[in-house]
Chains A and B, each alone.
Chain A
Amino acid sequence: MGVAVRVIPCLDVAAGRVVKGVNFLNLRDAGDPIELARTYYEQGADEITFLDVKATVDNRDTMYDVVRATAEQVFIPLTVGGGVRSTEDVSRLQASGADKVGVNSAAIARPGLIDEIADRFGAQCVVLSLDVKRSTTVPSGFVVTTHGGRTETTIDALAWAVEAIERGAGELLVNSIDADGMKTGYDLELITAMREISRVPVIASGGAGKLEHFAPAIAAGADAVLAASVFHNGELTVADVKRALAESGVVTR
C-alpha cells in the first residue's frame, strides 16, 4: 500500500536524437527518443524524463516535436529539462504535452524563475534539477555545479534546495556528479541529506549500474530512482529494476 516508488528512465536528447550510448536490438531507430520512450512505457516506466542537452534556440522546436509525438502514445507523466528559462518556455512545453519541467542553471542565475513557474503552473510542475558534487568549500559538503558538473559554483546544494522548495519547487532531481557514469551506485549520503531537508519528493540520479543499486537509494530516502545509460545500452530493463525493488520489499507499480 501507499504510493509506489517510481522508476524513471532519462533520455538525453540533442537535435531530436538520444545521445549517450544506445544499444537496443529491437528498435528500428536506436537513437529515436520517441521510440525509446515508448519501449520504456511498455516496460512499465512510471515517468519519462527528457533532458534537452543542447537547448539552443535552434534546437528548441525539435524538442517540442519530440514531446508532442511522445505524448501521443505514452500515457505517463513526461518531464522536460534543459534550457527552461521563462514561463513562456513552460507554456510551450506544456502545450506540447509535458507535465513537468526541470529547471537548473537558469534558476541558479535567476531564482525568481521558480516562483514564476510555480505561481502560474503550480508547484507540481517545477522540478529543481541539481548537479551536485562533494566539496569542502561549502558547509554541507555538497556544492552545486553547472555545465554538467564542469563548473563549480559557490552555492551549497542543501541550502539551494531549501530555498528552491520555499520558492515553489515541487520536486528535487538530485544528480550526483561524482557518481554519474561510474555505475557504482547512487550517492546515498547525498540522498539522505536531501531527504532530511525536503518535504517534496526526491529523485535519486547518478551512479546506477546494477540491480542491487536501486533499493538502497530508496532506503536512503528517495521517492524515485532515475537512470539513463543502463537502460539505453540494454544492461537493465525497467521491468528488471522494478522486480529487484519489489524483491527488496519496496512498493512498486
Chain B
Amino acid sequence: MSTAQPSVVVLDYGSGNVHSAAKALELAGARVELTADRDRAMNADGLFVPGVGAFSAVAEALAKVGGGALIEKRLIADRPVMGICVGMQVMFEHGVERGNQAPGLGEWPGSVTELDAPVLPHMGWNTVEAPEESRLFAGIHDERFYFVHSYAVQQWQLDPQPPFTPPLVTWAQHGAKFIAAVENGPLTATQFHPEKSGEPGIRLLKNWLQSL
C-alpha cells in the first residue's frame, strides 16, 4: 500500500446501492469517492465496480460511462479493480438470461448462467471455500457472506501456463457449485456483497485495501 489511506473510486454508473459500498470501504480504511469521472477513476488506488440487477442492464449502464475501456485500461496498467455481484459477472464473456445472450467485458472466459436450485434468487448468508493462499480471505475462516443472485459462473476456464500465476478461485454452493470470488492479479471480484456481509465483509475489504 503506497499511502496510509488508499483512495478508492466507487464507480457511480447508476447500478445498485453505492451508498453502502462507499460507507463499508470507508470503515475498512479507504478514502472513498463516488464518481464516474474517467480521470478520477483511473488515478485512484483502487476502482470498485458494484452492480445489481440484470446482466444486460448492468453491461449497458457500464458502457454508457465508458466503464469497459476504463477497467481494461486500469488492468493493463496493473491497477487494482474489484467487481461485486453483477459487477463481477460482467467481467466474463457473456451472460445468459431468459435464453438471451448479452456480451460482457470478457476479462475472463466463460458464461454467467442460471443456477439450478429449488429456491431462487439465492438470497442470504452462505459459506465459501477459499484457497489456502487467498489474500482476500486471509484471516477470515468459517464465516458466511451475503449473496443475492440467480445467475452465476459455474465453470472456471482460465488456466494460464507458467510464468503466469494461476488465478485463485473461491467456490460456493446453492443447488450447483459456482464461483464466489476470483483473485487474478489486479482484478478481484466477488459474487457476494462484502459491503453487506457484516464484520467478515469489512475484513475482506480491508484485505483488498491492503493489496492496493
Contacts and interface: CB of A to CB of B under 8 A. Distances in A.
A142 B123 CA distance: 26
Main secondary structure, interface of A, reads loop
Contact of B19 (A97, A124, A224): A97
B148 A124 contact: yes
B144 A71 contact: no
A75 B120 contact: no
**Interface-centre pick from B17, B146, B147, B196 (highest chain A CB count, 10 A):** B17
B125 A99 contact: no
Interface in A187-208: 199-201
B52 A75 contact: no
A221 B120 CA distance: 14
A122 B53 contact: yes
A200 B119 CA distance: 5
Interface stretch (A2-10, A11-19, A81-89, A106-114): A2-10
Interface string A145-182: 00000000000000000000000001100000000000
A98 B17 CA distance: 7
A32 to B, nearest CB: 19
B124 A6 contact: yes
Nearest to A123: B121
Contacts of A121: 52-53
A2 B173 contact: yes
B19 A96 contact: yes
A104 interface: no
A38 B127 CA distance: 24
Given A75-B20, A75-B27, A41 B123 contact: no
B197 interface: yes
A176 B53 CA distance: 30
Nearest to B19: A97
A34 B24 CA distance: 17
B124 A46 contact: yes
Interface string B13-32: 00011111001100100000
Chain B interface bracket (under 10, 10 to 19, 20 to 34, 35 or more): 35 or more
A253 interface: yes
A200 B120 contact: yes
Contacts of A200: 119-121
Interface string B65-86: 0000000000000000000000
Given A4-B144, A99-B17, A124-B148, A46 B196 contact: no
B195 interface: yes
A141 B134 CA distance: 53
A75 B24 contact: yes
B19 A201 contact: no
Interface in A219-234: 223-224
Nearest to B195: A75
Contacts of A41: 198
Given A46-B124, A75-B201, A94-B17, A125 B53 contact: yes
The 6 A-B pairs at the shortest CB distance, nearest first, are namely A122-B53, A97-B19, A253-B125, A3-B124, A4-B125, A124-B148
Given A1-B173, A201-B124, 8 more contacts: A75-B201, A77-B148, A94-B17, A99-B196, A124-B53, A124-B123, A170-B123, A223-B119
Interface of B: 16-20, 23-24, 27, 52-54, 57, 118-127, 144, 146-150, 173-174, 193, 195-199, 201-202
Interface of A: 1-6, 41, 46, 68, 71-73, 75-77, 94-99, 119-125, 170-171, 199-201, 223-224, 253
29 contacts: A2-B126, A2-B173, A3-B124, A4-B124, A41-B198, A46-B125, A71-B17, A71-B19, A75-B24, A75-B27, A76-B196, A76-B197, A77-B148, A94-B17, A95-B19, A97-B23, A99-B20, A99-B196, A120-B53, A120-B57, A121-B53, A122-B54, A124-B53, A124-B150, A170-B121, A170-B123, A199-B118, A199-B120, A201-B123
